[in-house]
C-alpha cells in the first residue's frame, strides 16, 4: 500500500473534470469509496461528480447518503460521460465502461475483488484481495494523504468509510489486519453517533415481505440452499443480499443463493439478480459465477451476478415468465453444484494417488 497516494495523485492530475462512476450496486462500500475519491479529487483541485444509474434500495444506504451529505447523483442515462475527460471506478471487479466510448480514459480503478480474466487499462490501478473492503484501501490512501482532521467533510468521509468496512466485513467478523489498521485510523475522525444512527436503521417493509417469500420458497440441494423471491422493484434490489445473509445465518447449509426478477422502467427493463453467500473456506465463488455468466463476480464469501432479460419483459404472462426464470435458475445452480462435486471427487482421487505414489517411492 506504500506510495499509493503519490501514484494516484500523479494519475489524477492529468485531468480536470473526472466522473466517479458507481458501476455496481450503490452499497455502502461503493458509496463510501466513491465519496473518498471525490474528496481526494477536491484536494488536488480536480472537479468530480459521483454518478450511479441504479437506485439506492436499502433504507440504511439512503440514510448514509442523507446524514453524511454525500453528493451522489442518480442518472438514468449516460449523458454525464460527455462533459468529463476521464472516469474512475471503485469497488467493482472490472473498470471497462463501453457506455463511455473508447475515447474516455479510466483515470483510476481501485478494488478488493478477485481480478477478472482481462483487466481494462487504467492510469492508476490498485487491487488488494487481502482486505475486506475497498473502503479499507481508500482509508489507507487517505492516511497517506494526511488531510486536515478539523474539516467536516473529512469527518463525513471517515464515517462513511468506517461504515463501508463494517458492512463489507459482515460487521467486522471477516475483518483482517489491514481492515483493523484502517478502522483505527478512521475512528479518530468519524462521527460515532451518526454511525450508530445509520446502523440502527430498520429493514423496510418490502424487504421483510421478500424475506418471508424466500423462506417459503427455499429449495435445498446437497449443502446449498436456493430461494427465488419472484418479481422485485429496482428500489428493493439490495434486499436480495440482505436476505442471503439472513438465510446463511439461519439455516444449516454452507452456501445460499437468493435470486429475483428485478423490474425497472415500468416493467420494460428486467434483469435476473442472484446473490451468493457461503461459509466455505474452499468454495471458489468467483469461478462458479464466471462459469454461469461474465456479468458477475465474487470474493471469498460473497458474490453476485445479473443477466439481462429485457427481451422477455414484454411477455404478458408474468407468472409463466417467472416460472421459466425460476426453473432455469434452479436447474443451472444444481448443475453448478454437481460440477463442483465432480471436481471434488477428481481432487480426492488425485490426492490419494499422489499419497500412494509417495508411499511406494
If asked whether residues 137 and 219 sit together in one domain, one would say no
If asked whether residues 94 and 110 sit together in one domain, one would say yes
If asked whether residues 56 and 83 sit together in one domain, one would say yes
User: Taking all residues of the chain, what is their mean pLDDT, rounded to a whole number?
Assistant: 89
Helix ranges (DSSP H) in 146-218: 152-168, 177-186, 192-199, 205-217
Q: Give the model's pLDDT for residue 266.
A: 73
Q: HEC profile for 48-65? A: EEEEECCCCCCHHHHHHH
Q: Helix count (H) and strand count (E) of the chain?
A: 11, 12
Residue in this structure with the C-alpha cell 415500468, named with its chain if needed: 266
Domain boundary at 199, 231, 250, which? 199
* pTM for the model: 0.81
If asked whether residues 318 and 229 sit together in one domain, one would say yes
**Any domain includes 265:** yes
**Any domain includes 355:** no
d(CA 157, CA 152): 9
Domain boundary at 148, 171, 199, which? 199
**Any domain includes 188:** yes
Specify the DSSP element, H or E, that contains 32.
Answer: helix 28-43
Q: What is the CATH number of the domain that holds 249?
A: 3.10.310.40
Instruction: Report phi then psi at 253, rounded to 5.
Output: -85, 150
d(CA 156, CA 37): 13
Q: Which residues have CB under 8 Å from 336's CB, separation 6+? A: 288, 291, 292
Q: Give the model's pLDDT for residue 82.
A: 74
Query: pLDDT tens, 316-344?
Result: 999 999 999 999 999 999 999 998 865 55
Cell numbers that stand for 164 in this block: 463501508
Q: Which residues have CB under 8 Å from 107's CB, separation 6+? A: 11, 12, 14, 15, 18, 86, 87, 88, 122, 123, 124
| Three-class secondary structure of residue 113 per DSSP | coil
> How many domains does one find in the chain?
2
Query: How is the beta sheet containing 72-74 ordered, strand by strand?
Result: 72-74, 47-52, 17-21, 86-90, 106-111, 124-127
DSSP β-bridge partners for residue 261: 231, 272
If asked whether residues 171 and 244 sit together in one domain, one would say no
Query: pLDDT tens, 139-189?
Result: 999 999 987 656 899 999 999 999 999 999 988 888 999 999 999 999 999
Q: Divide the 361 residues of the chain into consecutive groups of 10 and give the mean pLDDT of each group.
A: 82 96 92 97 94 88 96 80 89 85 87 87 94 96 82 94 94 90 93 94 89 95 96 91 92 96 84 95 90 88 93 91 96 92 52 56 56
Q: Give the model's pLDDT for residue 347.
A: 47
Q: Give the model's pLDDT for residue 151.
A: 84
The boundaries of the domain holding residue 96 are 4-199
Nearest to 97 by CA among 124, 122, 128: 122
Residue in this structure with the C-alpha cell 446449498, named with its chain if needed: 224
Cell numbers that stand for 344 in this block: 471434488
Amino acid at each position: 500500500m506504500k506510495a499509493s497516494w503519490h501514484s494516484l495523485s500523479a494519475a489524477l492530475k492529468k485531468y480536470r473534470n473526472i466522473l466517479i462512476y458507481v458501476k455496481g450496486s450503490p452499497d455502502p462500500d461503493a458509496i463510501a469509496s466513491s465519496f473518498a475519491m471525490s474528496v481526494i479529487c477536491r484536494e488536488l483541485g480536480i472537479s468530480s461528480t459521483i454518478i450511479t444509474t441504479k437506485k439506492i434500495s436499502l433504507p440504511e444506504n439512503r440514510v448514509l447518503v442523507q446524514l453524511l451529505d454525500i453528493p451522489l447523483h442518480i442518472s438514468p442515462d449516460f449523458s454525464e460521460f460527455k462533459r468529463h475527460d476521464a472516469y474512475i471506478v471503485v469497488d467493482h471487479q472490472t473498470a471497462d465502461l463501453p457506455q463511455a466510448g473508447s475515447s474516455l480514459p479510466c483515470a483510476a480503478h481501485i478494488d478488493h475483488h478477485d481480478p477478472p480474466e482481462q483487466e481494462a487499462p487504467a492510469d492508476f490501478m490498485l487491487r488488494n484481495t487481502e482486505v475486506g473492503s475497498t473502503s479499507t484501501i481508500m482509508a489507507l490512501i487517505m492516511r497517506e494523504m494526511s488531510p486536515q482532521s478539523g474539516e467536516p467533510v473529512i469527518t463525513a468521509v471517515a464515517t462513511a468509510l468506517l461504515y463501508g468496512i463494517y458492512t463489507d466485513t459482515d460487521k467486522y467478523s471477516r475483518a483482517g489486519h489491514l481492515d483493523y489498521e484502517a478502522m483505527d485510523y478512521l475512528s479518530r475522525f468519524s462521527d460515532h453517533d451518526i454511525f450508530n444512527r445509520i446502523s440502527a436503521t430498520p429493514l423496510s417493509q418490502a424487504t421483510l415481505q421478500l424475506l418471508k417469500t424466500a423462506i417459503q420458497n427455499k429449495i435445498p440441494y446437497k449443502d446449498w440452499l436456493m430461494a427465488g423471491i419472484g418479481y422485485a422493484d429496482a428500489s428493493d434490489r439490495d434486499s436480495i443480499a440482505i436476505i442471503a445473509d439472513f438465510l446463511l445465518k439461519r439455516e444449516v447449509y454452507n452456501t445460499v443463493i437468493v435470486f429475483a426478477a428485478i423490474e425497472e422502467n415500468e416493467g420494460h427493463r428486467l434483469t435476473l439478480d442472484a446473490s451468493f453467500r457461503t461459509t466455505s473456506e474452499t468454495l471458489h465463488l468467483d469461478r462458479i459465477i464466471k462459469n454461469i455468466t461474465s456479468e458477475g463476480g465474487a470474493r471469498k464469501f460473497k458474490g453476485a451476478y445479473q443477466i439481462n432479460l429485457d427481451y422477455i419483459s414484454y411477455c404478458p404472462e408474468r407468472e409463466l415468465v417467472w416460472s421459466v426464470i425460476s426453473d432455469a435458475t434452479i436447474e443451472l445452480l444444481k448443475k453448478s453444484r454437481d460440477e463442483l462435486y465432480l471436481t471434488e471427487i477428481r481432487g480426492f482421487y488425485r490426492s490419494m494417488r499422489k499419497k500412494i505414489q509417495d508411499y511406494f517411492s
